Amino acid sequence: MAVLTDRPATPVARRADRGPRARVNRILGYAVLIAFGLIFLYPFVIQLGNSFKTEPDAAANPLSPLPDSLTLAGFERIFAGTNFPLWLGNSLLVTVLVTLGRVFFDSLAGYALARLRFRGRAGLFAAVIAVMAVPGVVLLIPKFLVLKQLGLYDSYAGLVVPLLADAAGVFIMKQFFESVPVSVEEAARIDGAGVFRTFWSVVLPMARPALITLTILSFQGSWNEFPHSLVSVQDPDLFTLPRGLADLVSGSLGKGTQYPLKLGAALLATIPVAVLFVIFQRYFVRGANEGADKG
CB closer to another protein out of 13 and 184: 13
The reply to whether 212 sits near another protein by the rule CB under 8 A is: no
Interacting residue with another protein among 86, 165, 188, 212 (CB under 8 A): 165
Which amino acid type is present at position 57?
A: D
Rounded least distance, CB 181 to another protein, Å: 19
Residue-wise over 201-233: b if at least 16 C-beta within 10 A, else e? ebbbeebeebbbbbbbbbbbbbbebeebbbbbb
User: Taking the complex as a whole, how short is the minimal distance between the CB of residue 77 and another protein, in angstroms?
Assistant: 15
Q: Which residues contact 119 (CB under 8 A, 6 or more apart)?
A: none
9 contacts another protein (rule: CB under 8 A) = yes
H or E, element range at 134: none
Q: Supply the minimum distance, in Å, between the C-beta of residue 243 and another protein.
A: 8
**Considering only 72-80, 175-183, 201-209, 237-245, which stretch makes contact with another protein by CB under 8 A?**
237-245
As measured in angstroms, the least distance from the Cβ of 76 to another protein is: 19
Q: Of residues 73, 86, 92, 164, which one binds another protein by CB under 8 A? A: 164
Q: Is residue 179 within a helix (H) or strand (E), and if so which, with residue range? A: helix 167-179
Interface map 38-57 toward another protein (x if CB under 8 A)? -xxx-xx-xx--x-------
Residue 9 DSSP code: P
Q: Is 118 helix (H, G, I), strand (E, B) or coil?
A: coil
Min dist CB 232 to another protein, Å, is 10
Number of other residues whose CB lies within 10 A of the CB of residue 89 = 13
**Residues 67 to 96 in contact with another protein, rule: CB under 8 A:** none
Coil, helix or strand for 97? helix
> CA–CA separation, 45 vs 101, rounded Å?
35
Task: Work out whether the CA dihedral 222, 227, 228, 234 comes out positive or negative.
Answer: positive
Output DSSP code: residue 249: I
Q: Is position 181 an interface residue for another protein (rule: CB under 8 A)? A: no
Nearest distance from residue 35's CB to another protein, in Å? 10
First to last CA, the chain: 19
User: Is residue 168 part of the contact set for another protein (CB under 8 A)?
Assistant: no
Helix (H) or strand (E) holding 15: helix 11-16
Given CA atoms 275, 278, 282, 284 in this order, what sign does their dihedral have? positive
Report in angstroms how near the CB of residue 155 gets to another protein at its nearest. 9
Number of residues forming the site for another protein (CB under 8 A): 115
CA 256, CA 258: separation in Å to the nearest integer?
Answer: 6
Q: How far is the CB of 106 from another protein (least distance, A)?
A: 7
* Residue 256: exposure state from Cβ atoms within 10 A (0-12, 13-18, ≥19): exposed
Is residue 25 near another protein by the rule CB under 8 A?
A: yes
**Should residue 196 be labelled a site residue for another protein when binding is judged by CB under 8 A?**
yes
Applying CB under 8 A, which part among 81-89, 177-185, 207-215, 284-292 lies near another protein? 284-292
| 95-154 residues near another protein, rule: CB under 8 A | 97, 100-101, 105-106, 108-109, 111-113, 116-121, 124, 131, 133-146, 148-150
